[in-house]
């Protein structure tokens, strides 16, 4: 039992110790008697309260409260009520002294019969009863919460909100948390929110986890919008954005989960494991067969046992993470790692392609049509400017190292390096290091573009991700590849190095992926690339190899797809620099911005060097005004 507690609940000594910490501006996170808990991230003009019903199971409801920066969970039993009232009153008194007003929002679940599935097994829509006093003082806060809750959608069912003014603000089986008149005399306000319990089985009380998560994230946003309105209208507390009222303190459970996920991610390199090691031998054999026999690819031995690594992955207790945004990102990363490990088990089988479609997606009609427009519009006879001048892999590595060193002067802890390798084809960044195949032929005109692609995007976002408190931003959030490769290709345009042959190559990968998914063989795709689209035999082989490796890898389509999405994002007014905070997908941009507002993420230490160049800024302005992919090379 915590110090200061006794069998009668919250003692005056315990309450005083909590209030003293708040008064000094310190955080509070501690267990309370009877299974309660209080978390106050920092002094804030609001708190969410959940009382555990004394006579009925109420699984899932607590989860809706504990994601907030300020919450109180207490047992609703009679012996704890006086102590709970005293704690809420003293917190109100203290916060009113600091901010001029204080809002207490209590949440509870409605009767389970109202959430019962119908005869077809369909759940009712989410629903809320929002109960306030008759005072007009916080009408704008009530209306803000009403509007936000009304926008909640769970599995295509939109929420309804019943607004009750002057009603009893407490669950039926309990008295009001604090008599509202007492709270009002102190400068505080009390709101009650009853939630339809669509997140659990009405018969046995078992939670529906996916429903609960969907409701939790949206309710958290709704409450923050109401708290922001309250703080702006009623208090002296000012923040520039409603997300800044979210949690800032990161607790041990978050660090443990983040570290454990990173350990699993760092245990294997998926792309290296999916890249053939006998490329020169396979090309020679394919050529000797006069391109009639499908090449046989060999791969590195797996350094891990995927089933054992999966066991470790699912032993990670993500359910302990209270923050709904971080929990969502962690769960998504776990799913992606699981799928990558399954793909490694399925390497060199047809099942590998099925896994690839889950991880990287397929090619939609819009992307396919745009790619074919590029292939049809740009002549296959297009050549790189100065193509006769070839830079050796060693010389390219030396130039890339100089660019890395320029970044290291800004960010001395940067550990990335560049090296020539005999076991890869082309260029690859693996765990922050640039690897260059020893047979790679690089036209001199493409050197700067490729350096910005590999160093100015892939290494830079790896380093920025390493600078963050969460390792997921350098290992890569789920589905990050599309935006990452789109940014990398866009960087080639930004330095004037995106050429016609390069754009045709990226478009051909989209066409090739589509053909493979539709059932085309390696030889059929090779012939299509060579005879229909005019690529040389060696280039056609390399494109086909990259797409058919492992059993079918659809990743190569993301370069072109990512570029198309990025151009659309910029045209809509999206900012470029925030995309370099780490390896993130487009869908995560709102969550990343939220974490930045909450000051959970650090400022990125590096920005691409080309953003300092006047010619690059002009190109960026042109992209903001609206461009399609062919416009980039005109």
User: DSSP letters along 117-156, please?
Assistant: --TTSPPPPPEEEEEE-S-STTHHHHHHHHHHHHT-EETT
Dist. CA 167–CA 180, nearest whole Å: 11
Residues 6+ apart with CB under 8 A from 246: 68, 69, 220, 224, 325, 594, 597, 598
Dist. CA 362–CA 368, nearest whole Å: 10
Dist. CA 563–CA 565, nearest whole Å: 5
**What is residue 477's three-state secondary structure?**
coil
Asked whether 415 and 407 are in contact (CB, 8 A), the reply is no
Alpha-carbon separation of residue 592 from 63, 273, 598, 603 (angstroms): 22, 30, 10, 12
Dist. CA 463–CA 470, nearest whole Å: 12
Dist. CA 565–CA 579, nearest whole Å: 13
Q: At residue 387, what are phi and psi to the nearest 5 degrees?
A: -65, -25
Where along the chain do its domains lie?
12-249, 250-268+304-345, 269-303+346-633
Q: Pick from 452, 450, 453, 476: which is nearest to 464 by CA?
A: 476
Asked whether 252 and 275 are in contact (CB, 8 A), the reply is no
- Name the β-bridge partners of 132: 165
Asked whether 294 and 521 are in contact (CB, 8 A), the reply is yes
Helix ranges (H only) for 306-412 are: 306-314, 324-345, 351-360, 365-377, 393-410
Displacement of CA 564 from its chain's centroid (Å): 20
**What is residue 588's three-state secondary structure?**
helix
Write out the CATH class of domain 12-249.
alpha beta
The reported pLDDT for the residue numbered 384 is: 59
**What is residue 18's three-state secondary structure?**
helix
Residues 6+ apart with CB under 8 A from 43: 22, 25, 95, 98, 99
* pLDDT block averages, 10 residues each, the chain of length 634: 50 94 94 94 96 93 95 95 95 96 97 88 93 91 97 94 92 91 92 96 93 95 96 93 88 92 92 90 96 95 95 96 91 95 95 95 94 93 66 94 96 95 85 91 91 96 93 89 95 94 95 97 97 95 96 95 95 91 90 89 93 94 93 87
- Name the β-bridge partners of 207: 200
Kindly state the helix (H) or strand (E) to which residue 38 belongs, with its residue range.
strand 36-40
Q: Pick from 70, 82, 142, 76: which is nearest to 108 by CA?
A: 76
Dist. CA 397–CA 393, nearest whole Å: 6
Cut 0.85: pTM above it:
no
Asked whether 40 and 19 are in contact (CB, 8 A), the reply is no
Q: Pick from 447, 490, 500, 471: which is nearest to 579 by CA?
A: 490
The reported pLDDT for the residue numbered 383 is: 64
Displacement of CA 542 from its chain's centroid (Å): 32
Dist. CA 190–CA 176, nearest whole Å: 10
Residues 6+ apart with CB under 8 A from 140: 229, 233
DSSP state of 293: S
Tracing tokens 């000797």 back to the chain, one arrives at: 288
**What is residue 613's three-state secondary structure?**
coil
């Amino acid at each position: 039992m915590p110090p200061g507690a006794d069998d009668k609940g919250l003692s005056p000594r315990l309450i005083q110790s909590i209030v003293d910490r708040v008064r000094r501006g310190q955080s509070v996170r501690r267990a309370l008697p009877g299974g309660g808990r209080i978390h106050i991230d920092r002094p804030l003009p609001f708190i969410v309260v959940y009382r555990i019903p004394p006579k009925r199971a109420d699984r899932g409801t607590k989860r809706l409260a504990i994601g907030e920066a300020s919450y109180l969970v207490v047992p609703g039993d009679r012996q704890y009520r006086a102590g709970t009232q005293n704690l809420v009153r003293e917190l109100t008194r203290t916060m009113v002294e600091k901010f001029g007003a204080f809002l207490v929002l209590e949440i509870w679940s409605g009767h389970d019969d109202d959430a019962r599935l119908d005869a077809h097994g369909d759940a009712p829509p989410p629903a809320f009863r929002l109960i306030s006093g008759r005072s007009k003082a916080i009408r704008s806060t009530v209306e803000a919460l009403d509007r936000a809750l009304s926008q909640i959608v769970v599995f295509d069912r939109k929420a309804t909100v019943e607004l009750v003014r002057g009603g009893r603000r407490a669950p039926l089986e309990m008295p009001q948390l604090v008599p509202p008149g007492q709270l009002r005399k102190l400068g505080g306000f009390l709101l009650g929110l009853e939630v339809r319990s669509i997140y659990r089985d009405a018969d046995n009380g078992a939670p529906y986890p996916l429903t609960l998560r969907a409701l939790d994230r949206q309710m958290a946003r709704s409450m923050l919008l109401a708290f922001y309105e309250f703080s702006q209208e009623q208090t002296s507390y000012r923040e520039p954005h409603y997300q800044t009222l979210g949690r800032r303190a990161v607790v041990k459970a978050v660090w443990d989960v983040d570290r454990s996920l990173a350990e699993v991610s760092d245990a294997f390199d998926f792309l290296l494991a999916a890249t053939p090691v006998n490329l020169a031998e396979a090309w020679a054999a394919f050529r000797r067969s006069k391109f009639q026999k499908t090449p046989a690819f060999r791969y590195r031995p797996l350094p891990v046992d995927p089933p054992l690594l999966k066991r470790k992955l699912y032993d990670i207790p993500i359910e302990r993470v209270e923050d709904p945004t971080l929990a969502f990102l962690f769960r998504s990363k776990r799913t992606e790692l699981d799928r990558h490990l399954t793909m490694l088990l399925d390497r060199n089988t047809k099942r590998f392609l099925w896994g690839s479609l889950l991880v990287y997606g397929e090619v939609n009609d819009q992307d396919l049509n745009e790619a074919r427009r590029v292939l049809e519009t740009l002549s296959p006879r297009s050549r790189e400017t100065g193509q006769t001048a070839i830079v050796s892999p060693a010389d390219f590595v030396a130039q890339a190292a100089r660019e890395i060193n320029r970044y290291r002067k800004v960010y001395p802890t940067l550990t990335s390096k560049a090296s020539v390798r005999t076991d890869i084809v082309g260029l690859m960044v693996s765990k922050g290091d640039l690897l260059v195949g020893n047979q790679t032929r690089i036209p001199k005109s493409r050197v700067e573009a490729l350096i910005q692609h590999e160093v100015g995007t892939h290494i830079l976002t790896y380093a920025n991700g390493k600078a963050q408190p969460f390792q997921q931003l350098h290992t890569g959030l789920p589905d990050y590849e599309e935006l990452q490769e789109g940014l990398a290709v866009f960087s080639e345009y930004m330095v004037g190095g995106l050429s016609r042959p390069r754009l045709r190559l990226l478009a051909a990968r989209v066409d090739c992926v589509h053909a493979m998914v539709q059932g085309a063989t390696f030889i059929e795709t090779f012939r299509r690339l060579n005879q229909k689209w005019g690529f040389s035999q060696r280039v056609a082989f390399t494109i086909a190899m990259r797409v058919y490796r492992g059993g079918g890898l659809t990743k190569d389509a993301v370069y072109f797809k990512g570029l198309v999405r990025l151009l659309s994002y910029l045209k809509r007014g999206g900012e470029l620099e925030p995309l370099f905070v780490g390896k993130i997908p487009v869908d995560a941009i709102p969550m990343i911005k939220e974490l930045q507002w909450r000051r959970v993420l650090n400022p990125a230490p590096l920005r691409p060097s080309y953003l300092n160049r006047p010619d690059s800024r002009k190109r960026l302005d042109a992209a903001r005004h609206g461009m399609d992919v062919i416009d980039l090379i005109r």
